[in-house]
Homo-oligomer: A and B are copies of this chain.
Amino acid sequence: MVHGRQPIITVMDRDLKASIAEVQVFVAPPGRAVPARGSSEVTRVSTGCANCNLHEICIPCGLNGREVDQVEELIYARRRLKRGESLYRAGDAFNSLYAVRSGFFKTSQMLEDGREQITAFYMAGEIMGMDGIGPERHSCNAVALEDSQVCVILYSRLEVLSRHLPSLQQQFHKVMSREIAREHGVMLLLGSMRAEERLAAFLLNLSQRFAARRYSGHEFVLRMTREEIGSYLGLKLETVSRAFSKFQDEGLISVRHKRVGILDAAGLKRMIGRGLH
């Protein structure tokens, strides 16, 4: 994890410097999400979007080779975060979007009295921070749920570059649009589903996203606590725990703490959308 590390930031404008004070920049970060042990992986070439194993999922998706090369200009820096660390907080000045390179994040909104609503979980290849563009400051908190790495996408560069690369423009608009559509789904879940339907929908969604990343969609480890799942689903942690146990009793899933197995995805799907009883 220490190999190949060498800060290259020397000059930059004041605002940026302030807002990304603890960014770590590497000449040649490891080519993989996992810390590189062999030095063979530590090459300049392995840095870019073109060689990133996420390029099918992330921003460069749908761009051709030459375009991807240009998109690499976007990635201003990488930043590592330890579990529990904040990537940004509500109120911080907005300068960049973040693509998850490895790890897992939550974003949340707070109410004055301390109630927290988790608005999303982000995994590899997903883009965080788009709610900050309008107000020019971040409007929620982003926290790493495990040791993670993000690509810092300078928004000002994205604006300029997407004017010259129509397919990047298109891709970016689609990413924002999908975020809107995703949230519609969450609103449906929060507004019209019962506790067990919500959890079923949540597990199916996670499963599908893991599968899209070539992880197993049948067996995975939850990175968040029952309380965080509850916050996302508008439920209390006890209710989440009971629903897990019920699904297990019914043979739909296997749960042991954070380890979940999807035994009957079709059964979970049937669970959803069968009326308020």
Interface residues of A (CB under 8 A from B): 109, 111-119, 130-135, 139-140, 159, 162-164, 166, 169-170, 173-181, 183-188, 190-193, 231-234, 272-276
Can you report 16 residue pairs joining A to B where beta carbons are below 8 Å apart?
Answer: A113-B273, A113-B275, A115-B192, A115-B276, A116-B192, A132-B177, A134-B173, A135-B178, A179-B180, A180-B180, A180-B183, A183-B184, A183-B187, A190-B190, A190-B191, A191-B233
Question: How far apart are A60's CB and chain B's nearest CB, in angstroms?
Answer: 16
Question: How far apart are A121's CB and chain B's nearest CB, in angstroms?
Answer: 13
Contact, CB under 8 Å: A133 / B174: yes
Residues of chain B with a CB closer than 8 A to A175's CB: 134
How far, in whole Å, are A181 and B170 apart by their CA atoms in the complex?
A: 21
Contact, CB under 8 Å: B130 / A192: no
Copies of this protein in the assembly total 2
Contact, CB under 8 Å: B181 / A139: yes
- Most chain B C-beta atoms within 10 Å of own C-beta, residue among A118, A186, A232: A186
Question: How far apart are A274's CB and chain B's nearest CB, in angstroms?
Answer: 6
Contact, CB under 8 Å: B184 / A119: yes
Which chain B residue shows the least CB distance to A234?
A: B191
Report if A109-B188 is in contact (Cβ < 8 Å); known contacts: A166-B159, A177-B130: yes
How far, in whole Å, are A140 and B276 apart by their CA atoms in the complex?
A: 21
Which chain B residue shows the least CB distance to A232?
A: B191
Question: How far apart are A9's CB and chain B's nearest CB, in angstroms?
Answer: 27
Residues of chain B with a CB closer than 8 A to A140's CB: 184
